[in-house]
């Protein structure tokens, strides 16, 4: 495997220096940047535009135990641990639920206009939560958070946002991260050097054919970190959201968990409400249970979400969903909504501790690209946005006191040339990766299928060095797919979002542990 995706000669390449280099512009990256700007100069690199993120598409809300009368961090902790199927890092969960309350209140102070009821923050119920603790703004919570943080970042004098910059690779020496290489919108190479580099590149849903994720979610940060020598953890745990709008020829559109929290029910092709046969919480069971139940029922025919009983007030609370349904010829008052699970959220990622530190000095990671074990084997609904806030903030808390004593280093390596190879076209490679992953590493897996997957992935010949962004994306998807497949093959049990039909039982004696992969 090549260390860098491109050949390069740094002589004459423009150099940009900053105290903090943040790669990614979702909730984790922007919140980290905003807090870092209190102590130093920050550059934010984003692959496309500032708002092209998974955060912007988040519907349901952000979980926090802000109701001090009915809820508590302890109850939130217990629900998160239970959903994580025995693999949560208890220390990380404790940090999430305790620090998260203050972080959410800070979002409100910044201007996040969450729904209110009787003058107080309104709270929703979602699957596997025992209390109403989901703050929301209709079904556009992520859009609201993205708006607030984007405005704050753009207006901060210590932050420079550089849109349409594709980060290619991290620059490292002696297991220390010095910064990153990136292409600008015209394909020109740029060198970004910093005291601290923060990966906040988001998830990798595009590694699967069916996903709720936007086009930018291609596992770039995971692949970059792995090539640089950082360990990745829990790569077998990819969460499939149970209810994505399932219409022929259309990318899967998320139907928020909050809809079931408000009383929507799942119905099979025979018109039966079936979730009570799978879990005591029925339609509000953990996501992995609901996703597999729908998948099981879908083998006999289309599965639907029934919201025909919703009131005008309830429908007004999900305007984006209602609008999308109507655009596709569905009347939520009269029609059942066809749904099927789709790849949604990566519990695995670049291994970090609870301060965002990776295996490489001066490299930090937060948000969906990172894995400190807070979500275990199955993320609790609406903990993802909170994760980005809490751990993005902690990175700055960890580094602010050593900022002045840390130097910006220019790399000793100025010329790199790796192996050259001609391969198949990037578009064809991406399509094959997506199909192979969906068919063999999707909701139901088995050892034979995973071995076939790895064999077929390794037969794919990609072109190196990469010549454009599409080829770079193919290389990152390929690397991410290999890591997911390998971890899934290693884990010979079923736990949370990872279900092996040849090992259908959870095995705490042998497998209550994390799988870490590194070069």
Question: Looking at the annotation, which residues are catalytic?
Answer: 287
Label residue 184 exposed, middle or buried (CB < 10 Å: 0-12, 13-18, 19+).
Answer: middle
Query: Whats the size of the chain, residue-wise?
Result: 519
For 463-502, b where at least 16 C-beta lie within 10 A, e where not — what string? bbbbeebebbbbbbbbbbbbbbbbbbbebebbbbbbbbee
Report d(CA 403, CA 408) in Å as an integer: 10
- Residue among 161, 198, 206 nearest 48 (CA): 161
Structural Rg of the chain based on CA atoms: 22
Show the CA angle centred on residue 164, arms to residues 211 and 137, nearest 5°.
Answer: 50
Which residue shows structure tokens 């979400």? 305
Helices 27-36, 141-154: crossing angle, 10 deg rounding: 30
Tokens of 218: 């291609």
Report d(CA 305, CA 227) in Å as an integer: 42
DSSP 367: G
CA distances for 151 relative to 56, 154, 166, 239, 417, angstroms: 13, 5, 22, 31, 41
DSSP 408: P
Q: Which residues contact 120 (CB under 8 A, 6 or more apart)?
A: none
In degrees rounded to 5, what are phi and psi of residue 317?
-80, -10
Q: Residue 516: helix, strand or coil by DSSP? A: strand
Q: Where are the alpha helices (DSSP H) in 217-286?
A: 220-228, 257-261
Report d(CA 279, CA 277) in Å as an integer: 6
Q: Which residues contact 402 (CB under 8 A, 6 or more apart)?
A: none
H/E element holding 243? strand 238-245
């Amino acid at each position: 495997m090549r260390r860098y995706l491109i050949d390069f000669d740094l002589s004459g390449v423009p150099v940009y220096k900053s105290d903090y280099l943040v790669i990614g512009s979702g909730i984790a990256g922007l919140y980290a940047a905003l807090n870092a700007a209190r102590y130093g100069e920050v550059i934010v690199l984003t692959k496309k535009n500032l708002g092209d993120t998974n955060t912007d598409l988040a519907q349901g809300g952000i979980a926090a135990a802000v109701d001090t009368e009915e809820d508590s961090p302890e109850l939130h902790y217990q629900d998160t641990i239970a959903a994580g199927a025995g693999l949560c890092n208890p220390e990380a969960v404790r940090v999430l639920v305790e620090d998260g309350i203050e972080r959410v209140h800070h979002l409100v102070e910044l201007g996040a206009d969450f729904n209110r009821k009787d003058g107080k923050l309104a709270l929703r119920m979602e699957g596997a939560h025992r209390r109403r603790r989901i703050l929301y703004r209709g079904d556009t919570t992520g859009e609201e958070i993205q708006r607030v943080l984007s405005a704050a970042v753009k207006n901060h004098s210590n932050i420079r946002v550089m849109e349409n910059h594709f980060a290619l690779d991290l620059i490292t020496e002696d297991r220390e991260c010095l910064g990153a290489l990136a292409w600008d919108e015209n394909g020109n190479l740029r060198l970004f050097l910093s005291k601290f580099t923060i990966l906040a590149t988001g998830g990798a849903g595009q590694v699967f054919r069916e996903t709720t994720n936007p086009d930018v979610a291609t596992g770039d940060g995971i692949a970059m970190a792995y090539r640089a020598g950082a360990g990745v953890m829990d790569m077998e745990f990819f969460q499939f959201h149970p209810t994505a709008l399932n219409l022929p020829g259309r990318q899967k559109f998320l139907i928020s968990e909050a809809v079931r929290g408000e009383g929507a029910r799942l119905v099979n092709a025979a018109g039966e409400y079936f979730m009570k046969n799978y879990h005591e919480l029925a339609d509000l069971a953990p996501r992995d249970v609901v996703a597999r139940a729908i998948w099981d029922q879908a083998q006999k025919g289309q599965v639907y979400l029934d919201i025909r009983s919703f009131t005008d007030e309830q429908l007004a609370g999900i305007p984006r969903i209602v609008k999308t349904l109507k655009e596709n010829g569905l009347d939520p008052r009269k029609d059942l909504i066809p749904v099927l699970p789709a790849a949604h959220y990566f519990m695995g990622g670049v291994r970090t501790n609870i301060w965002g530190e990776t295996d490489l000095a001066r490299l930090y990671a937060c948000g969906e690209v990172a894995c400190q074990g807070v979500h275990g084997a199955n993320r609790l609904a609406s903990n993802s946005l909170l994760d980005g806030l809490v751990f993005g903030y902690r990175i700055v808390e960890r580094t602010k006191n050593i900022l002045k004593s840390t130097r910006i280093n220019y790399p000793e390596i100025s010329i790199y040339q790796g192996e050259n190879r001609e391969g198949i076209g990037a578009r064809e490679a991406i399509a094959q990766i997506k199909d192979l992953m969906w068919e063999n590493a999707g909701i139901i897996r088995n050892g034979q299928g995973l071995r076939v997957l790895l064999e077929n992935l390794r037969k794919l010949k990609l072109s190196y060095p990469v010549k454009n962004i599409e080829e770079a994306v193919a290389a990152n998807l390929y690397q991410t797919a290999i890591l997911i497949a390998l971890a899934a093959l290693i884990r010979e049990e079923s736990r949370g979002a990872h279900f092996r039909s040849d090992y259908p039982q959870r095995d705490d004696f042998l497998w209550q542990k994390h799988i870490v992969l590194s070069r």
